[in-house]
Amino acid sequence: MSMKVFVLFVATALVASQCQGASFRSFPLKMKTEYGDESYTEIRCASWRLAAEALNIFGWETIPEECVNATAKYIEGKQYRSDSKTVNQQAHFFARSLDVRENDAIVFSIDGTVLSNVPYYSQHGYGVEKFNSTRYDEFVNKGDAPALPETLRNYRYLVNLGYKIVFLSGRHESKRAVTEANLKAAGYHTWEKLILKDPSNNSPNALEYKKAERAKLVQQGYRIVAVIGDQWTDLLGKPEALRSFKLPNPMYYIY
């Protein structure tokens, strides 16, 4: 079991739906600091963000209250776009370094990776509000989520290279029509599979659900060349991709 996955287990296993987290907050407990004053909030919040990206902090339900403005600035500014680009580029460099085989698949998460949910989170404190599945469903059902531009560009490269695209999402099966329409409207016109969560699925959390779906892909004969996702639970656990790519997401954590 990987260190990372182990960490997730240690973090306790709350039943998880999209964006639901653990019952504790590890930050900003005792964030006494020599800096102290308000002008260092941005520095502290950048540290929080880095620590979350490297999975030093996990299981958070909401971002720290003091980090709403810093998160907004990050997400709406050039840094988030550049960070998204760099990771997508790495995936592209890796993909084009291989000889593409017939059944080579690249697995993408949808929300926060392929489709941006910044329009939703910008209306909900960039993750400072606890996840509300009813409201998030309303956003999904509108079907107008824009592409994350850097992922769309990478998707086009990967399609051109001959890779099979698999979208693997925690969205429920009932969202299939709206999800297909949204993907197409956003510029994703072709895919091998769109895997959504069946009502009968009893995976305890996103990690187990996605592992199980990757296992099915391998059983069906696919080689999973890469997984590209905005959550560690998109990436971790067996079977693993040849390489896994973690896109930035400082707004929510999914078990």
- Work out which of 23, 38, 65, 78 binds a second copy, going by CB under 8 A: 78
Site for a second copy in 26-65 (CB under 8 A): 26-27, 29-31, 33, 35, 40, 43-44, 46-48, 50-51, 53-57
- Work out which of 17, 90, 103, 201 binds a second copy, going by CB under 8 A: 90
> Any contact of residue 108 with a second copy (CB under 8 A)?
no
Strands of 193-197's sheet, edge to edge?
A: 193-197, 164-172, 104-108, 223-229, 243-246
Q: What gap in Å lies between CA 103 and CA 106, rounded to an integer?
A: 10
- Give the nearest distance from C-beta 58 to a second copy in angstroms: 9
Contact in structure between 223 and 101 (CB atoms under 8 Å): yes
> Any contact of residue 20 with Mg ion (CB under 5 A)?
no
Measured CA distances, 164 to 104, 143, 155, 229 (Å): 6, 24, 10, 16
Which of the stretches 106-114, 154-162, 198-206, 231-239 binds a second copy when contact is defined by CB under 8 A?
Answer: 231-239
- Give the nearest distance from C-beta 136 to a second copy in angstroms: 25
Three state DSSP letters for 19-49: CCCCCCCCCCCCCCCCCCCHHHHHHHHHHHH
- Give the nearest distance from C-beta 123 to a second copy in angstroms: 26
Q: What gap in Å lies between CA 65 and CA 94, rounded to an integer?
A: 38
Which of the stretches 13-21, 81-89, 106-114, 197-205 binds a second copy when contact is defined by CB under 8 A?
Answer: 81-89
Tokens of 78: 């050039």
The residues that touch a second copy, with contacts defined as CB under 8 A, are: 1-7, 10, 26-27, 29-31, 33, 35, 40, 43-44, 46-48, 50-51, 53-57, 78-79, 82-83, 85-87, 89-90, 93, 235-237, 240-246, 248
